[in-house]
Structure 1
Amino acid sequence: MSKVLKSLSVTLFAATMGAGAQAQSTDLRIAARDSYIFTYPLVMMYRTMYLQAIEEGSPSYAGGMGEWLHLGVASPEDNDIVTPNNDTPYSYAWVDLRAEPWVLTMPEIGADRFYTSQWDDLWGYVLDNAGSVNDGNDGVSVMLVVPGWEGDLPEGIDRVIQGETSFLGTLTRTQVLGSDQPSDLDRIQQRYVLEPLSAFLGQPAPQQAETIDWLGWEEGAEFELGYWTHAARLLPLVERLDVDTEAYSALAMLGIESGQPFDIEGLDDTQKATLQAGIDDARALLAAQAGQLTDGTKLFGPRSAVGQRYLDRALGVYVGIFGNTKDVSVYLNRVVDDQGHPLDGSKASYEMTFAKGELPPVDFFWSMTMYRLPERLLVANAIDRFSIGSATPGVVTADDGSLTLYISAEPPKPEARSNWLPAPDGPFWMVLRNYGPGESILDRTYDLPPVRIIE
């Protein structure tokens, strides 16, 4: 995807060669597009942090930094993030590491249940997962630290999680089993512990960090010129690396420097129009790439894996903020039928058949989730089924060992309803989540069967 973006160095060269006003406007527009792609994860991760840990009036406010927001099973009303997960209810939390590290303790859990505590920094890099895949189900304690932290691990700490920002967020997933009672999930989530290192060690707390004057978030800010004010305000919160020098140079072309105020109102109408055009260009690029996406594995990971592929990094946040690394889960998408036509519940009913022995190879479980487009949110339906998979009670396998899923807006014939995944009366997108993916999923020799129209 990196070839999609024009080289920032070319952009900067053109801008410094004394080109005419029109050429300079074009260069500024390209720089604005590239800068939007570069900073998009930072701004949208801030949006999530602001709503969950800063803005007390937010419906998703958890109580502040270091406080858990434990959610139940996702529903169509949940719109905090796109492509919400229906199989492993979420627990969110954010920590401010400027004064001292924090400690996460995951409890021992039953061997038949999957759980993982994913941690991201404000760039959207996935830093680590504490839980089933990396640690088993016997419990683990990890320490969350600021960029540049060095030192010895305190007794009782298994390892360190470190990103490029002093604010980290978690999306912790807990599998729901078919036999669960409503209280079972709550009982497990309440045993996830987040505490400052001083509390973990039983020592006095250090002096608190300086209070930050947070910029309020208005929904839709990512579409408008106010986006650039957010980007400018957030840059001082991240560790600046030399490998990102060209990206910071493009931001400087827009007048955005870390730690410096950015005054939108000080721009003339032409400059404002150019910066808005850069936003529109970047969003069109993200939408186009999302529409062609069939494999999201390269979008999520640490800096060592994603690197400076800024478009991939932004696309990961665009299609599924807090998406996870491929060793924990791999998502495979279906956006078209076997004839290459976009899936649309208003135009057809569909089926997908897994032949005997061709179900997704996983260590834990798999599920197929339905999302309406363009919102990429769950689909309200008469049976309140938003996903279907290996842990869904009542799914029927045919006599020949195959498994067929029926995908439609209207209920299928009675004998097929046990395997029905309700679709919206319009465009949709399906995501197959594989937890603990097998080797054939990881090396991409496994693929989903085609989606066929039911004649």
Structure 2
Amino acid sequence: MRATMIAVAALCLAGCGQADQAETSIAASPSELTAEQARQYAHDSYVFTYPLALYYRTMYNQAIKPGMAFGQWLHLGTSTPDDTDIVTPNNDTPYSYAWVDVRAEPWVLTMPAIDKDRYYTSQWDDSWGYVIDNPGSVLDGNGGGNYLLAGPDWNGELPDGINRVIRGESTLLGTITRTQLLGGPQDMPAVRKIQQQYKLQPLSAFLGTEPPAPAPAVEWPEWTEGDEKTEKYWDYVAFMLPFIAPNPDDADAMAKLSALGVEAGKDWNPETLDPAIRDAVAQGVQDAIAEFDEWGTNPKLDSGKIFGSRATQGTDYLNRALGTYLGIFGNVSQQAMYLQIPIDASGEPLDGSKHNYTITFPKGETPPVDYFWSFTMYKVPQRWLVANPIDRYSISNRTKGIKTNADGSLTLYFQHESPGKDKESNWLPAPDGPFWMVLRNYGPDETIIDGTFPAPRPVPTGE
């Protein structure tokens, strides 16, 4: 069974969706399930709903828990190892987070005009983890504008002064808005000035009209870290389902959820299940988590497929889940390509306690991008930034002081100890243990998107 699951995962990552594997007959309730079915349904349902629960985790931390609110910006500086709200944060484009509840009325996002050489984008995702829009440099230029954030059922007229409507499949929408840091920390005041000009307001406030009646109050469940690996996970899924507009393409996946007893707005009651079925559901969850872990270190993972819209991902639930698992709020390939680097040139997992590593780009062969590229270092399994004595968490073509070799090539050093004062300008410190890297490419050339320009592999240089 395990081998079959991995084979299916390989097919999905190659481009097929799980809808192609739909079963001809799905059990109607837990009482009709065999243990084997329960395990498979739990696996499939966990993969299907993983973004729903983990986006709730992020939303809870940024908009629901005490001190936070919907429609309120959370502007950050450069990321540090203390930032653990999301996995695989970057250190090149300081983040601005916000969430809106559009049940009562749409909201309006206002983007300021900024300097033409700086990259910015306000990426918006729905609760399924689909990327639904990216107002900013790539799609709209740097002139700013207003954008309507609406629910899936909103059908009003587009007001004057609004560039376009942004809508997903949920009434809860979240953004990670990125503002490029140019050159280093000395540019942070300019980034903060831009961040303060991002604006969110209800449509009625934008129009100066009477606001509608508020949406019904919600009793938001407290998120507890680790719940995603326990039976409590299914309660979060059931809680989030009422905020989703069902898509006909998900009918089979929703039927499997129902067969497990997971229903919109109702607590999941595992104690009512036959013990063998309950155990099988728990095993199915562990199967899915193991699958995520396995793909997280697989060099064949296609980062261009793990982030996308409903139009590009469809029912490819595995890739959608992997995007959330490996880098929640990752962006679509037209904005940025994230080349995963889990292994070295010999095929071994990266480990700063065993080796030093280098990557060398021949002259003129650095990643082809419109904006910039950067390597970011993460400790595993957490996929958080690595604390180090020089407080450097990424290295890029914009890193101050970076040096090329005499022949014009560029060598970067990835290791725990300093490679020497003369090379520290090109050093990204690694942990004294396992690590994982991402090469981010902003405004990537087509050769990066189609894989012609592959992820480089670090060369081990010593014990």
Q: TM-score, normalised by structure 1?
A: 0.94
Which residue of 117, 133, 138 maps to 2:122? 117
Contact in 2 for aligned 1:87/1:176 (Cα 8 Å):
yes
**What is the alpha-carbon distance in structure 2 between the residues aligned to residue 357 and residue 7 of structure 1?**
43
Shift in Å, 1:257: 2.3
Contact in 1 for aligned 2:341/2:456 (Cα 8 Å):
no
Which residue of 306, 311, 315 maps to 1:308? 315
Shift in Å, 1:178: 2.0
- Show the counterpart of 1:88: 93
State how 1:9-20 maps to structure 2 within 5 Å.
Answer: 9-10=22-23, 12=25
State how 1:25-424 maps to structure 2 within 5 Å.
Answer: 25-56=35-66, 63-178=68-183, 180-293=186-299, 294-424=301-431
Stretch deviating more after TM superposition (225-234 or 262-271): 262-271
Q: Deviations over 1:177-231 (max 9, x none)?
A: 1263443222111100000011111111111100112122111100100111111
Q: Deviations over 1:244-303 (max 9, x none)?
A: 111011111101222444223333433332221111111011111111144311111110
Shift in Å, 1:430: 1.0
Q: Deviations over 1:100-125 (max 9, x none)?
A: 11000000001121111000000000
Contact in 2 for aligned 1:147/1:166 (Cα 8 Å):
yes
Structure 2 unaligned spans of 5+ = 1-8, 13-17
Residue 45 of structure 2: SS of its match in structure 1?
helix
**What is the alpha-carbon distance in structure 2 between the residues aligned to residue 433 and residue 141 of structure 1?**
28
Stretch deviating more after TM superposition (184-193 or 321-330): 184-193
**What is the alpha-carbon distance in structure 2 between the residues aligned to residue 52 and residue 386 of structure 1?**
23
Residue 160 of structure 1: SS of its match in structure 2?
strand
Stretch deviating more after TM superposition (259-268 or 41-50): 259-268
Contact in 2 for aligned 1:11/1:27 (Cα 8 Å):
no
Contact in 1 for aligned 2:235/2:266 (Cα 8 Å):
no
Contact in 1 for aligned 2:19/2:316 (Cα 8 Å):
no
Structure 1 unaligned spans of 5+ = none
Cα 1:146/1:398, change in 2 over 3 Å: same
Aligned partner letter, 1:201: L
**What is the alpha-carbon distance in structure 1 between the residues aligned to residue 313 and residue 367 of structure 2?**
26
> Share of identical aligned residues, percent?
52
Contact in 2 for aligned 1:225/1:272 (Cα 8 Å):
no
Contact in 2 for aligned 1:103/1:194 (Cα 8 Å):
yes
Contact in 1 for aligned 2:307/2:332 (Cα 8 Å):
yes
Contact in 2 for aligned 1:82/1:375 (Cα 8 Å):
yes
**What is the alpha-carbon distance in structure 2 between the residues aligned to residue 372 and residue 440 of structure 1?**
29
Aligned partner letter, 1:27: Q
Q: Deviations over 1:65-122 (max 9, x none)?
A: 1000111110011111100011101100000001111000000001121111000000
Residue 134 of structure 2: SS of its match in structure 1?
strand
Stretch deviating more after TM superposition (117-126 or 426-435): 426-435
Stretch deviating more after TM superposition (175-184 or 234-243): 175-184
More RCO (CA 8 Å, sep 6+): 2
RMSD over aligned CA atoms reads: 2.0
**What is the alpha-carbon distance in structure 1 between the residues aligned to residue 112 and residue 379 of structure 2?**
36
